[in-house]
Amino acid sequence: MVSTQAPPVENSGRQYLPSPIGKFKSISPNQQLFPLTTTVNDRDHMEIGGCDVVNLVEEFGSPLYILDEETLRTACRQYRDALAREYPGQALALYASKAWSCLAVCAIAASEGFGIDVVTEGEMQTAFKAGISPANIYFHGNNKSRAELDLAITSGCTVVADNWLELQTLAEISKTAREPIRIMLRMTPGIECHTHEYIRTGHIDSKFGFDPDQIDEVFSFISQQPGLSCTGLHAHIGSQIFELQPHADLGEVLARWFEKSASYGLEIKELNVGGGLGIRYTEADDPPSIEEWVKVVSSGIVKACEARNLPLPKLLCEPGRSLVGSACVTAYSAGAQKTIPGIRTYLSVDGGMSDNPRPITYQSLYRVVLASQMGAPLTETVTIAGKHCESGDVLIKDARLPKIETGDILVISSTGAYNASMASNYNRVSRPAAVLVGNGSADIILERETYEDLIRKDRLPERLIADS
């Protein structure tokens, strides 16, 4: 086994410098640049899960998402085991499936003892088909439709109420429901953290959740609704967070609301701290480990509840990116190059913003290697450009790489979260295939779209056919 934590490029002079790390259970996947099973084989090719990446591209095409099962399962187990070790009460980790909602990922998470966090009917239906019990599905979202609410309720999911319209709709539905509707309340905790403004959800100016000054009114309303069973409180402070203190502070905020709920006769039994633990996208990133995050979150809830003589609630958390992000890479084939003397060299690949919209959306940074020549010296500085008709379709600026020829295979790391799930058909491209690798074998978990798929839902009116 090898470590895939690459040293700073400028110090190593190489793309990748593996070193022994021992057993996977001691390594926090979110702190690694590449999946835990990554190695360099005797052909000087990158291998993941025992599979040669160049061979995978030859068989399945590119762009190609490559998901390492061992890394994903290791991350799941670290959350599960750390919660059992650090939290003295009941606990359940939920996979935040918005990171990547597909049958295989949801099924793996469920097989490791996880519940599922969903935000749309599509994610809910995926969780159902992956075999997840509705009792362990929590339905989020700031604008749930009546149809979505009906499906969640009749299926037995917990609805995380986000706003007044939704709460009033749930109260209306409950009048004819056969049994009380199980809900949680999403509150805005008012905690700032250092992350991109688009993924900060815990501060007051957010589209998500009830504001703290509404809590008495909300509790009062629910106490008068016999058809609503409010089982818990939820808060989430953001995403891709490297700081631990905001998560410690969240325990105090949740416990304060927990204590107040009793005066309204509510029987809160669960506190959900959300997710948000960051991952390593480049050498400069230094996120806490899964173990450290769970320890801080657990300690925060325990201390805050003990200070108020409150019974320990069931602790829920919702990791997404830190489960699947570092478990996946994306492989591309190199295409045209354009050198602008004194400015930069553009290297185009056969994907881009349609399979990874995060750089153009969040200015996100990534790490790239030449998977077909892992030991080659770094001699070039290139900007990795996508194939789309958009000047901003740039995946990585000024990457240090070996000399690249057309057809060489490039791999960008840490692409498991918000890549496949946010992929599009911009410029009418087909979305990539995804394979699950492990023990030397690869299984398709997402088929590559065909051009027939792209036009299957199109309809051409008869009058346009006649006009042509």
Least confident piece of the model among 6-10, 157-161, 279-283 = 6-10
pLDDT digits (tens, 9 = 90+) for 118-127: 999 999 999 9
CA distance 153 to 92: 21
Place of tokens 């075999």: 131
pLDDT for the residue numbered 21: 44
If you classify domain 140-319 with CATH, what class do you get? alpha beta
DSSP secondary-structure letter at 219?
H
* Tens-place pLDDT, residues 158-204: 999 999 999 999 999 999 999 999 999 999 987 654 443 333 344 45
Q: Please indicate whether residue 193 is annotated as part of the active site.
A: no
* CB-CB contact of 249 with 286 (8 Å): no
Paired sense of beta strands 115-118 and 328-340, if any: unpaired
Task: Tell me how far apart the alpha carbons of residues 236 and 465 are, in angstroms, rounded to a whole number.
Answer: 52
In order, the DSSP letters of 89-136 are: S-EEEEEEGGG---HHHHHHHHHTT-EEEE-SHHHHHHHHHTT--GGG
* CATH no. for 9-66+329-454: 2.40.37.10
Q: Tokens representing 300? A: 């925060």
Residue 65: how many other CB atoms lie within 10 Å: 26
Mean pLDDT of 78-100: 98
| Measured CA distances, 327 to 28, 37, 75, 276, 366 (Å) | 11, 9, 9, 17, 14
Q: Within 13 Å of residue 450, how many CA atoms lie on the same side as its CB?
A: 3
Lowest mean pLDDT among 195-209, 273-287, 393-407: 195-209
Q: 8 pLDDT exceeds 50?
A: no
Q: CB neighbours of 231 closer than 8 A, spacing ≥ 6?
A: 158, 182, 183, 184, 267, 268, 269, 270
Instruction: Tokens for 139, please give them.
Output: 């339905």
Q: What are phi and psi of 227, to 5 degrees?
A: -85, 0
Q: 3-state class of 57 per DSSP?
A: helix
CATH 2.40.37.10 domain position(s) in the chain:
9-66+329-454
For residue 238, the model assigns a pLDDT of 85
> Which residues of the chain form CATH 3.20.20.10?
140-319
Quick one: average pLDDT of 245-264?
Answer: 93
Residue 137: is its pLDDT beyond 70?
Answer: yes
Rounded Cα gap, residues 240 and 438, in angstroms: 27
Per DSSP, the three-state class of 400 is strand
**pLDDT tier, 129 (very low <50, low <70, confident <90, very high otherwise):** very high
pLDDT band at 403 (very low <50, low <70, confident <90, very high): very high
Distance CA 378, CA 402 (A): 4
The catalytically annotated residue of 76, 102, 328, 389 is 389
DSSP letters of 291-354?
HHHHHHHHHHHHHHHHHTTPPPPEEEE---HHHHGGGEEEEEEEEEEEEETTTEEEEEES--TT
